[in-house]
Structure formats: C-alpha cells, structure tokens
Copies of this chain bind each other. A is one copy, B any other.
C-alpha cells in the first residue's frame, strides 16, 4: 500500500511541478532576450543536480507593485484612493475647506495641496488611512477598488495589472518559487485585492505600514489604525523589510524604478544563481513612457547600473505582446 502511494505521490508531483507538461509559458512575451533570460534562469534554478540548482525553500522572488505589476500613472493608485477618501470624509471635517492640503484636494487643486511638500503628503496619508479598525478599512478599500476607474484608461484599477507579469508570477510559482510583493504601497491597501489580481496571499504582501493599536471596543478586541506612519517600504527600506519579514535573501527581484534599486542590489549580490529584472516603461501608445525625468516611478540610477549588474531590462513596447488582460 505504502509503495503504491509513494509512486502515486511521485507521479502526481511530477505532473504538477514539471514545466514540460504545462502549456507554453509566458505566452504574452515576445521571443527575445528578456523572455529567454527568464526561461534560462528558471531552467538553471530548477535543474535537479545541476550546478546552480536552488532548493525550493530558497526560491523566494520579490516583486515591486506600482509600475512593475500594475500601472502607476498618472498617479499612484493609492493616491487616487486617498483623494477620494478625503472627499468622502470632508463632511465631518468642515475645517478642511480652509486648510491645506485638504482644501486643495477638495477643490481639485492638487498643486496647491502638495505645495506643503512631504508634510502635506504625510497629512493626507494619515488622515485618509486612520481612525478605522483594520477590518473596517478593508471594507472601505474593497468598495473603492470595485467602484473606481482609471482616469485615462477607463478600467478598474485591478484590471490594469500587466498580463505578462501575471504570467511570470504564475510561471515562477509553477516552478516552486514563492512570490512576494514588496511595495512602497500600503500593505493593508494591497492585501484587499492582491490575492485575486496576482494570486499572492496576504502573508506574502509586504509594503509600507501605518501604526495600529490594540483596543477592546464594545468588549471585542480590535486593531485601530492610527494617524502615524510606521515604516516606508521603499528604496533601502525594501531590503530592510525583506530581512525583517521574510528573513531570507531572495534569489530573484523585479522592479521598475530607483525605489527598487537596493532590493535589486541586495538580492542579486547573494551567492549562487540570482536574477534581477527591471520593467522599462517604453510604450506611450499602450500604457505610458517614462524613466529618468519622471517624478513617479523615476528610473535613472538603476537603469545605469543594470548592464554591469546583469539585470534584465524589459522593453515594454518590444517585449510584451499585450500589456493588460482582456477586459472581463
């Protein structure tokens, strides 16, 4: 009995895990050096007995979100959420009509709103993301993401994920990689829709966070979101948070901006086989084209360092057959 079962397990495991039996991977990627580099990395990493074999437990792959897995233009999706949230809360805050940055947001004058620099931004984040329990906040985000539409592309934000990157996530997972999001975006904002959009469960979503406080409300324990930033998961904060939360150095990192530079450096400096990839936004027709001069998703230093570091630079226009999934 036992031997027969072991055979079943072996056959089934082979059937599930073997890329040979699955459909052609990465169908939305054009043939070219980027696709070839991905396929070669996975082949080398998973080749049993090969010199560069990576044990399954170490197959940690980290993905930036804004600009890497979904669009970040004209503004970060979470900024659009914050603006809508300030508008929704304004009735309870008559003083906002006279105080920046809220006055500017309510009047549609973002320039005036953001004239206060970082302090203004922090004000908006804190006011728009606090006061609720963590579970109430989830409901607010869920309702918002279902209703909101991208200002120029006209589709729900969670449909504006990149089809080729979704295929890449699935391909890596089919080959035993554990896929994580490591984003400057808010962790509690992303977790609400990330599992459906990317197949990434809450415990594999890492991001910026606000402080929360344990409290007994009406006899029930809750976590209340405070108007205070806890950690900014961007730039050098990314490897810091990966170390704190995952506790292993990843073997593959995927980003699109200088905010991902240190994550790419730290990941690819580890020993053994490593992989780094940068999504370069080169497609003004199908999405947006930007790099060195863009205030959002600025890609400058990482682009300079990519060739020497051996990071793959994806030319969105040339490498991707489609950008977004078919509308539902």
List residues of A whose CB falls within 8 A of some B CB. 5, 8-9, 11-13, 15-16, 57, 60, 134, 178, 187-188, 191, 201-203, 205, 209, 212-214, 216, 220-221, 223, 230, 236, 239-240, 243-248, 262, 265-266, 269
Cα distance, A266 to B223, chains bound together (Å):
9
When the two chains form their complex, are residues A245 and B203 in contact, meaning their CB atoms are under 8 A apart?
Answer: yes
A205 surroundings in chain B (CB, below 8 A): 247
Q: By the criterion CB–CB under 8 Å, are B212 and A240 in contact?
A: yes
Bound complex: CA A8 to CA B12 (Å): 6
Q: Give the residue among A5, A16, A244, A269 with the most B Cβ atoms within 10 A.
A: A244
Contacts of A191 in B (CB 8 A): 247
Q: A187's contact among B236, B247, B269, by CB below 8 Å, is which?
A: B247
Report how far A270 CA is from B309 CA in the complex, Å: 47
Main secondary structure, interface of A, reads helix
A239 to B134, CA, bound (A): 11
The answer to whether B212 touches A248 (Cβ under 8 A) is no
Q: Is the CB of A239 within 8 A of B266?
A: no
- Per CB-CB distance, the 7 closest pairs between chain A and chain B, nearest first, are A202-B247, A214-B236, A12-B12, A9-B12, A8-B12, A221-B265, A5-B15
Q: In angstroms, how far is the closest chain B Cβ from the Cβ of A127?
A: 20
Q: Are B223 and A243 in contact (CB under 8 A)?
A: yes
B11 touches A16 (CB 8 A): no
Contact A220 B12 (CB under 8 A): no
> Of all chain B residues, which has the CB nearest A248?
B202
User: Could you say which of B9, B178, B202 contacts A246, with CB atoms under 8 Å apart?
Assistant: B202
In the assembled complex, which residues on chain B have CB atoms less than 8 Å from the CB atom of A239?
A: 214, 221, 223
- Report how far A209 CA is from B247 CA in the complex, Å: 11
Q: In whole Å, how far is A292's beta carbon from the nearest beta carbon of chain B?
A: 22
Q: What are 25 sample pairs from A and B whose C-beta atoms fall under 8 A apart?
A: A5-B15, A8-B8, A8-B11, A8-B12, A8-B15, A9-B12, A11-B12, A12-B12, A12-B13, A178-B203, A203-B246, A203-B247, A203-B248, A205-B247, A212-B243, A212-B244, A214-B239, A214-B240, A214-B262, A216-B265, A220-B269, A221-B265, A221-B269, A223-B239, A223-B240
